[in-house]
Amino acid sequence: MKLFSLTIVFFGALLSNCQEQVQSSDVQKIEFGTSFGMCAGYCVQTLTVTEGHVSKTVTPRVNQNLEEKTCQQSYQEFNSLMSGIDTQEFLALDETIGCPDCADGGAEWIEITTPEGSKKVTYEFGKEPEAVKSIIEELRVLYAELGECE
């Protein structure tokens, strides 16, 4: 509860600062991922995008005889990608939306890091909030382009 309160104060301060609003150009990193609680194989998948670089990591469940795998490539469209998100609208989102991974429906999340800190929003798999819908669609395409990470 204490962490939640501190997070509310931190992001409240970010949102109430009228002179210095977070712009999409301030974003240093964006991460997108999926997870499934009742899963065999690679159950957690993460895509990390920074200026000039994109990587994908797939992680198996604990106690499985699988190795974590990562693949990466150069990525020069970071600024273009970030122009598709309203960071103020993103910061206003709740940290958890709906019931992520309830009844093994899976969860998705997006985390944006700026010089002021980071914020992560987790939601039900395939039910992204309208505020991030266009960027999530682009991140899914990037994720698919990286393939199986063999």
Asked if residue 90 has pLDDT above 60, the reply is yes
The pTM of the full predicted model, rounded to 2 decimals, is 0.79
User: How far is Cα 60 from Cα 23, in angstroms, rounded to an integer?
Assistant: 35
Question: What is the per-residue pLDDT across 56-89, written as a single tens digit (0 to 9) for each?
Answer: 999 887 777 888 899 999 999 988 888 878 888 8
Mean pLDDT of the residues in the chain: 82
For CA atoms 88, 114, 44, 94, the dihedral sign is negative
Sequence-ordered list of residues with C-beta below 8 angstroms from that of 110, at least 6 positions apart, any chain: 30, 31, 32, 90, 120, 121, 128, 132, 135, 136, 139
**pLDDT attached to residue 55:** 95
Among left, alpha and beta (phi > 0; psi -120 to 50; other), residue 103 is: left
User: How far is Cα 37 from Cα 90, in angstroms, rounded to an integer?
Assistant: 26
User: How far is Cα 94 from Cα 58, in angstroms, rounded to an integer?
Assistant: 26
List, in order of start, the domains of the chain with CATH numbers: 22-145 (3.30.1560.10)
Cβ–Cβ < 8 Å for 32, 108: yes
Cβ–Cβ < 8 Å for 33, 57: no
Cβ–Cβ < 8 Å for 46, 29: no
Give me the mean pLDDT over the 96-100 stretch.
94
